[in-house]
Chains A and B, each alone.
Chain A
Amino acid sequence: MMSEESTIEATALTQLPSGRGFFKPHRLVLMAVAAAILFCAIWFMRWDWLPDYAGRLAHGVGVTLLMLVGTCLLGFLLAVPIGLVQVAGPWPLKLLAKGFCTVIRGTPLLLQLWLLYYGLGSLFPQFPAIRQSFLWPLLREAWPYGVAALTISFAAYEGEVMRGAFAGVPAGELEAARAYGMSRWKVFRRIWLPRAVHRALPTLNGETVLQLKSTPLVATITVIDVYAVVSKIRQVTYLTYEPLLLLALIYLCLTALLVLAFRYFENKIPTRSA
């Protein structure tokens, strides 16, 4: 039976096509075709707008990456306790964590985002206490809602992953740690957590790629990420394809970057091919 982890590996892009033995005769032909298409794309499509927007695009990429890294880190911090209580917590917490994961994983992120921004966000100003509070300048902005929604979503998906990872750490290794007199916290910090994270790395890789692909949704609540910049270009230039193709290319590169970064981390602790 395939585990949950391998399912995600199969569905998310976690590996790049390998370069070994890349140059085969048919590949040269394919590359020639690809080059021809690329040439046509450059020659026959309109790219004159590109220099005007280069700065804004770079800024958008920055926002996208910031959203990605920020929400992944925050989400992961939440995911650890969510995963842990499901493995070792008392039953009320276990139930709570389980319910949280089910609800968040069972509804579209877009909806959650709008619920937070348009729903919750429109309730806040009705309470003068909130309106007068020091938090108000923050709550007026759109990005906190985007960060919150993406973080919650990542935490829910990752909580499930971490649950599996925590449960999958061999009991013997934890027992060994206890047998050498480590306190419970030390066992968790030195053995259980790092070992679980290590186990979960390939899955985390996939989930992070999926998270990257979720970031453009924040554009629908007025956060200016790279997707929003490209939308804007489309609206101003009335070009249908060119900006979208550029956007696809940007995300391809970002994904490749992520996959390479994870490969670096995964290779730090080698595992025997399983």
Chain B
Amino acid sequence: MGAGHAHRLYREGSSPVHRLPPHCKIAATFLFVLVVVSTPREAFAAFAGHAVLLGTVAVLARVPAGFLLKRLLIEVPFVGFAVLLPFVARGEQIEVLGLSLSVSGLWGAWNILVKGTLGVAASVLLASTTELRELLLGLQRLRMPPTLVQIASFMIRYMDVVSGEMRRMRIARESRGFETRGIRQWSVLAKSAGALFIRSYERGERVHLAMVSRGYAGTMPVIDAAVASRAQWARACALPAAALGVCLMGWLVP
């Protein structure tokens, strides 16, 4: 029942990016994506500029390109949608390799692909350099309402509990000769879904009560009360600032 201090995307490290305070990183990522989204879709060079900026951050953070590319796969469903657009969109058509494609559809597909990809890449960089606990702290320092922070931290704790209970249940099933195949599997799994919910809840409830028994009153005792220095804010905001420059060039130099 660990309190889940790491998560799937996180990569251990001590790069300058890892060391930035989490709230600075979250704010910087959000601003960067905002800038990317407002870049005009005709400004091809600007998107190249954004990509170079992100690449620089990735190098600073020592996040390998392969890792980043693999995580981009989360976008695949929307890539499918984008690929279809030129075929289904209406309006002016052009002929490419014998196919009749919609011009506005092509532009739409490009727009979704490039902005979506840059957005995902920025989020992946944030997630891979920031621990779970830090992300929560960051959101808290960015004035996310305490109720939401509380729900989010319980959610993260329970994800461990749920996966732990799922693992226990799987081992228990397999030890008693259950093979995970076929229709019967689904009926057993469906039946145990409700049991899983209650088990996880009650386990989590008991753990919560044990915490309360030892004086827990809603917030983890914070050991480090780190505040971001102006220099750290400046470093974090270098990314969106540079992107804003690129974006303005995109608007001015069509």
Co-assembled chains A and B? no
Residues of chain A whose beta carbon lies under 8 Å from any beta carbon of chain B: none
Residues of chain B whose beta carbon lies under 8 Å from any beta carbon of chain A: none
